Every structure is written in structure tokens, then in C-alpha cells.
Amino acid sequence: MAAIRFFTEADAEVIQAIYCQAFVGFPWFEQLSAAEVEGRWQSKRNQAGFNCLVTAEGSKIVGAMYWSEPTAQNLADRYEKELAGFVAENGVGRRLIYIGVTVVAPEFQGQGIATALRRRFLEHLQAENRDTLVITRMRDDNLPSIRPWEKLGMKRSGITMPSSQKTGVNHEFWFLVLNQEEVRS
């Protein structure tokens, strides 16, 4: 069984390499340079409340999941104004968490590693015992990502935006509310 832990700065280069490998295949088919991946990582790394889990097989990191704690305005500025309204309606008095990326090295995909990272992420949030609104976005053709999140309780927000990678495909924002009352039960 893979070990899951919080990342250290020493993990950054390996996480970036996995990111680059993971986005080559379905559904992204992106050929990213090391500099592009480094830029994306630094952009996420510099966001408020950034945190990251990694999973390792032995001493080899094989996957990562990272998130931040933006304001509703940060999300609206980056994505859709409609998202700010959704957050205002559903996030009052709650901490806001935005899941940026979950990546698994191609040779380890399909083994439940991403789902294990997601479960550990939710366990971490539940242990904090705070009302939280979790938001992420998923491409509507990325069923291997959508199905596990549905099983973990994520719901569609109904807010979509066109994919920048593929014409005719949308990203949809998904959400999960963790209430203190639910966490205690």
C-alpha cells in the first residue's frame, strides 16, 4: 500500500515531472515544457493556503494532489463571475478550499492512487472540524476523475466554462460541503 504524506519542498521537482508526464495522455494531450510546468507549479505554490499531499511507493513519489484557500473573488477573477455567486450563496461562514490538481505517474494510474489521495485529503479536512466548502473543476470528458469524486460526495455546481485545451469540451465546477455537524457524526 502506498504511503500518503504532506509534501516537502524537496518533493517539488518530482511532482512537476509527474505533472508533465500525466498531462501528456488522456484527456489532456498536452506537450508541456519543464519551464511551463515549473510556471504552473509556482503559480499554485504561491496561492494562499497552498498545501499538497504526495503518495509514494517505497521512496518513489508516484502521485500528488494540491489545493489552496482562495477568496471567492480570487476564483471569480481566475474563472467565472458566476462562481463567486455560487461561493457567496454556499460558502457563507465556511472556509473555501479549491483543489487545483491531482496527478499520478502514468505507470501507476488506474490503481486507486488518486482516490486514496482524495480520501486522505477529506480525512484531513474532517479532522480539522471546520465548516468547509470544497470546489474543484473537472473536464466533462474526464470520467476517470469524475466517478471517484462522485462516490466521495462531490456534486455538480452547474457552472461550466469552455476547455482551453479542446474545442467542444467544458470544465464544470464541482463542490462538497463539509459541516461541523456532519464531521462530528
Q: Per-residue pLDDT tens for 11-54?
A: 999 998 998 887 765 556 667 788 888 888 888 888 889 999 99
Tell me the C-alpha to C-alpha distance, in Å, between residue 63 and each of 7, 33, 48, 101, 182: 11, 19, 22, 10, 29
Could you count the other beta carbons within 10 Å of the beta carbon of residue 31? 9
pLDDT surpasses 50 at 156? yes
| Mean pLDDT score of the chain | 86
Please tell me the predicted confidence (pLDDT) of residue 49. 92
pLDDT category at 165 given cuts 50, 70, 90 is: confident
Residue 185 has pLDDT above 50, yes or no: no
Work out the pLDDT band at 77, boundaries 50, 70, 90: confident
96 pLDDT band, cuts 50/70/90, is very high
What domains lie within the chain, and their CATH numbers?
3-184 (3.40.630.30)
